[in-house]
Structure 1
């Protein structure tokens, strides 16, 4: 049984940093993800006057329920969508003037629905260049609360940001959601808010958050389920076995449901209380699958799809077009470069069986494109990447860890 040590969840680490910063007291985060995205989030907190201490296996954050310690700051969000969406929401509950900017890649990603919701709540928010995109500035004077309507059909992060803000408002927050994508991520947010002492209820598409703030705690960070998908897919593709500890039946992350897709394709899957094992069985079946709720793993499936015995059709993934890149089109382009027949539509991709031929993968600076097609390379030697280092966003040691796993199989 091959064990793989997966780094902490990016999604959980980002939420935990927000909650710790807003909580009353000192929070200890155990085994947080250390990557460009999360370091960028922590750096942003530091620029806002929060104290973030680091030990080899944990971070300690001194919470400030009243908001940032400084009245003026300029924050660079790097490539991090959670940083770029959560930190402006955090400072809105404080008092001061704050400016946020991000990389060219992050500047292209939409922010409009969240900006509109914050303005509806009385936040003085101004986009400096393109409306609905970074850079932006906020003149904060706290948030009263009330009712707001939100379209989270492009990203669940808009809803998460508002939910996290709720306990910091003076009277509480009622959020009426018209559209929602990647719903399991909202489950993560709600569970973590409650772990930090928040009172939040859900009735269909209506979320109600009581005022009262957050309490500091010690919070362990799960391994990243999206990152684990590359190793699970690799096992299914090669007929090997891999086990990931810390991701089991009680896991918060919806992306663990990717193993159910692999099970439908013929892999053997065992999910215990605190671990998940996937074993390849010598073949993969084609299928049609809706991945709306686990769309971050769409590239993982696309990368192994040519090796299935029939077409693989992935549906309801329009939101993958507004990630770090247009992931749906990036997968299609790279698969075609590998010699694979592919069709696409506004929210779907269909991939036909074939024998990929080695080529250089165009990554668009997207970590998930690199890690997904690294799985393809297990059956197609000679695949290269135009920017292999972009994995630093979520898994700086990916190539070393994945290469060691692959080499262990060759030795075995």
Structure 2
């Protein structure tokens, strides 16, 4: 019998960002195993997108009340469903209610700060009611188990996956000429520039650049991404690093991102609160060594010295030494990130779904 799953998510197809990509990888991996999945998103339309076989996505519902009502209606009228999947903790109460209404198992996904910081009582109860909780990293799992009452074997880790297109290669000449970084070395960071995410460590890198440029006079720190904090970070870069050490690239489209990884010499983003850090994997898969930050789930994305090193970004001397040391070591070993490729991710997700479905059917058989 084919497993049927209702996926209640913030976003999936028709949206960018790490959570949307995670949800796409998850539902596609499950559908490849034969599951039938109905996705109900808060954001993102599928106009012009051909969805994989076994997956259907409803139009988005922006209003929270209407989303809750539609979730209940779909669960009741378009079932039966074996599993209700909840793609974000803030939606956990409605996912729990839908699962109870229709007698389905309830699978909750956690990412990082969604379970590190906000702990209202109803959300806690909705987390503890889950039949299965998956986390993107061991760090997220550890923090979650520190404040919720859940058996440890009910909380599993399925890390982010790195897309197959991220492999070593040479940068396109057109991109090299357009960016005109000079002789380098080129340090790179990719991600949203948000005032709520200053833990990513950009300012600490800025403060380290004058010392690094004593050894590498033409070193450049390329910061890719846009957001509400760009103007502040540009001002801080001028104050801490001078006028020529930092280049803000703005939003980089997907067609240029791979070439940008190939163009850089080292990935530097000493973030202390990453739920996982997919950009670390992308960089390493392209052959870039990584300097990340201690804290959160980064230890999963930078698993050993073949990929890079994690440092405390508040210790400038250690950060400077780590950047210089990693530059001296050359390229990362892309084989280190092979366990994070999509095939492994999909296989792990299918095993967990099969276990949930089997539990539900055994329970129904015993009734």
- Give the TM-score, by structure 2 length: 0.37
- Give the TM-score, by structure 1 length: 0.34
Larger strand percent: 1
Larger helix percent: 2
